[in-house]
């Protein structure tokens, strides 16, 4: 609704910029991961080198023990002690140097790991933005497609016992509301309706803005009759004023149609049936839910 060439171009530019930003972030994240891998390999090399030196020191200790056992004079014993002190001093210096380098590498590795996490968080944020309706803050069509794909995969893993109810809701007399109170009030109505529906559903349910004043609901493990009861309950709970506008209460109702996903059909097929049930609800007086 309200689309024109300028808004379509603006949306296309926004999407293109988001894709460029995602590509740049992925490249930077991969570079940070590679740097972290190199740091860890370097640390392993330091540990390996240290182990090699300490192994030689252990061998020298064994030889010194043999020399002490064979010593027959104070001079020979003094020579062995002098060599032991020299060897232990070398190992002590090596330990200090290795510890210093490992601490420095650990700090660099920690910074690289933190950067990787920051970049991955930014990628998730961009992905969430691309899948979220800017006005209502519920899923948009892309987010709906992702949620449906996840539910389809869950159903395939769960087997025949799993089900999915698909609901389509449409605000009653939305054009009249826009004409009488203005588009700003219409936007608030969409925001509040989306928030109220989202708050009253289960965490595993999905609410998505399908376009204009239409919303799609995905209700896992729910039969069509149960989904009809859920939406009817929502309609009754929303009979109170949805929001205030110019010091007057604004009442908003919606009509809904629900159906159960059949087999491995695409979402579009289920939405067509839900749309038929929705218009049956509209014809029968609105503010009601029909199932098919």
Catalytic (active-site) positions: 213
Alpha carbons 146 and 148: distance in angstroms, whole number: 5
The residues that bridge with 207 in the sheet, in sequence order, are 217
- The answer to whether the CB of 246 falls within 8 A of the CB of 224 is no
């Amino acid at each position: 609704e309200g689309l024109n060439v300028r808004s379509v171009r603006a949306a296309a530019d926004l999407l293109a910029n988001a894709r460029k930003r995602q590509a740049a972030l992925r490249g930077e994240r991969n570079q940070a991961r590679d740097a972290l891998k190199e740091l860890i390999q370097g640390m392993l090399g330091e540990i390996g080198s240290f182990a090699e030196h300490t192994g030689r020191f252990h061998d020298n200790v064994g030889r010194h023990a043999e020399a002490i056992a064979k010593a027959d004079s104070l001079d020979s014993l003094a020579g062995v002690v002098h060599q032991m002190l020299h060897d232990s001093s070398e190992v002590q210096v090596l330990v200090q140097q290795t510890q210093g380098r490992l601490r420095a590498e650990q700090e660099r590795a920690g910074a690289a790991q933190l950067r990787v996490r920051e970049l991955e968080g930014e990628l998730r944020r961009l992905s969430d933005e691309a899948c979220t309706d800017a006005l209502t803050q519920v899923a948009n069509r892309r987010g709906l497609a992702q949620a449906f794909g996840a539910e389809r995969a869950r159903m395939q893993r769960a087997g025949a016992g799993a089900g999915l109810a698909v609901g389509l809701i449409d605000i009653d007399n939305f054009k009249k509301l826009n004409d009488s109170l203005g588009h700003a009030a219409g936007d608030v109505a969409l925001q509040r309706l989306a928030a109220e529906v989202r708050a009253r559903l289960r965490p595993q349910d999905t609410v998505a803005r399908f376009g204009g004043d239409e919303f799609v609901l995905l209700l896992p493990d729910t039969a069509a009759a149960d989904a009809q009861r859920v939406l009817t309950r929502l309609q009754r709970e929303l009979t109170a004023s949805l929001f205030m506008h110019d010091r007057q209460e604004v009442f908003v109702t919606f009509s809904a149609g629900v159906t159960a996903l059949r087999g491995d059909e695409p979402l579009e097929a289920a939405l067509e049936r839900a749309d038929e049930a929705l218009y049956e609800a509209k014809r029968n007086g609105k503010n009601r839910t029909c199932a098919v």
